[in-house]
Amino acid sequence: MIETTTTNNSTLVIPITTTTTIPSESNEIKHDNSLKTGFEITKEVEQFRNYENSDDRVSRAYRNSHLFQTYEYALDKKRQYSLLNSGIRMGIWQAAELLNTIIDESDPDSNIPQINHCLQTAEAIRKVYPDPKYDWFHLTGFIHDLGKVLLSPKFKEQPQWATVGDTFPLGCRFDESNIFYDYFKMNPDYNDSRYNSECGIYKENTGLENVTMSWGHDEYFYLVCMGNKSLLPKESLYMIRFHSFYPWHRHNKYKNLTNEEDEKMLHWVKEFNKFDLYSKDSEPVDVESLKPYYESLILKYFPKELNW
């Protein structure tokens, strides 16, 4: 049972009892402390990320992702997209508008257009971190999923399995904490001796920046930010790049690959995740009235037009 207590005008504390588990994830999570979301959520926390009762399109997205995402594939995509030579030039707001018609099929918690999710995340962050010194955090909420433009006709409608869903390292053993783990057994890398030991091709604690993650919206938008010289702080770039890496930020796995810097950034990635995940069931947002504020932040941290 979740209770909400008002601690001050804007902060709600949502305690989770010690016995709370999230049955959908293969490694059950027991929360032993209070989760402070600071914003209202109408659904029980346990009901998020429930993959057991998810519909077919969710399992299809993961089946394909776990089957087709190999080390070679992800490396190849990273090389190709890091060139930012698609010929497309557009600003951040324009990219967000492309998300208007996009539905993320991997997500059991959201069937609204993605631009609403972007603004819901951003507004939830802004409510808890109202200080202008955190304006980069507000903007991060707004832009974190912009890599999903890959699904749009402008980007030739890339497949769902190559764009959305949780991410995982390639070039080393798949960890069992990944949701839909069994689908990895059909992945060619699963039986490849170069890739199926704990560290695989990597040196112990090499650092996530040296790891090839499954290809998708996280890595793509990180490359867009880097290639266009955004002025976002490194905490923001970490959130963008690793927000879908649940086995790491939720299950504490793949510690053999992370270095000190990653561990420092983990705090921010986890902090971000609260807003990303639990704002999915909050109040609908009014896109037009929020536009001027986010446009002003875009101007501060990005060039007017970006290469994609």
Ligand X SMILES: O[C@H]1[C@H](O)[C@@H](O)[C@H](O)[C@@H](O)[C@H]1O
Residues flagged as binding site for Fe cation: 117, 144-145, 217, 243, 276
Q: How many CA atoms lie within 13 A of 181 on its CB side?
A: 12
Binding site for substrate: which residues? Answer: 49, 104-106, 148, 165-166, 243-244
Nearest by Cα to 210 from 247, 241, 176, 175: 241
Q: Looking at 64-72, 159-167, 169-177, 261-269, which segment touches ligand X (CB under 6 A)?
A: 159-167
Question: 5-6 and 12-13 as β-strands: parallel, antiparallel, unpaired?
Answer: antiparallel
Nearby residues of 203 by Cβ (< 8 Å), 6 or more positions away: none
> Are the beta carbons of 176 and 247 closer than 8 angstroms?
no
Q: Which of 25, 104, 189, 235 binds ligand X (CB under 6 A)?
A: 104
- In angstroms, give the least distance from the CB of 243 to ligand X: 5
Contact of residue 106 among Fe ion, ligand X, none (CB under 5-8 Å per partner type): ligand X
Q: Does 164 bind ligand X (CB under 6 A)?
A: yes
Question: How far, in Å, CA of 232 to CA of 124, rounded?
Answer: 19
Query: What is the DSSP secondary-structure string of 31-57?
Result: --S-B---S--SS-GGGTT--TT--HH
- CB 1 → Fe ion: shortest distance, Å? 27
Q: Which stretch binds ligand X (CB under 6 A): 88-96, 124-132, 162-170, 230-238?
A: 162-170
DSSP string, 154-189: GGT---GGGTSS---BSSSPPPTTSTTGGGGGGSGG
Nearest-approach distance from CB 241 to Fe ion, in angstroms: 11
Instruction: Report in angstroms how near the CB of residue 22 gets to ligand X at its nearest.
Output: 13
What does DSSP say about strands 5-6 and 306-307: parallel, antiparallel, or unpaired? unpaired
Amino acid letter, 261: E
Among 243, 249, 250, 280, binds ligand X (CB under 6 A): 243
Comparing CB distances to ligand X, the nearer of 12 and 150 is 150
Closest to 275 in 3D by CA, of 61, 34, 29, 36: 36
Binding partner selected for residue 165 from ligand X, Fe ion, none, CB under the kind-specific 5 to 8 Å limit: ligand X
> Does residue 175 belong to the site contacting ligand X (CB under 6 A)?
no
In the complex, the smallest distance separating the C-beta of residue 149 from ligand X, rounded to whole angstroms, is: 13
Site string for Fe ion, 145-164 (x = CB under 5 A): x-------------------
Task: For the segment 177-236, give every residue that binds ligand X (CB under 6 A).
Answer: none
- CA–CA distances in Å: residue 202 to residues 253, 257, 264: 15, 8, 21
Query: Segment 116-145, which members bind Fe ion (CB under 5 A)?
Result: 145
Which residue lies nearer to Fe ion by CB, 200 or 247? 247
The two structure tokens encoding residue 181: 């783990």
Please report, as ranges, the residues that interact with Fe ion according to CB under 5 A: 145, 276
Please report, as ranges, the residues that interact with ligand X according to CB under 6 A: 104, 106-107, 145, 164-166, 243-244
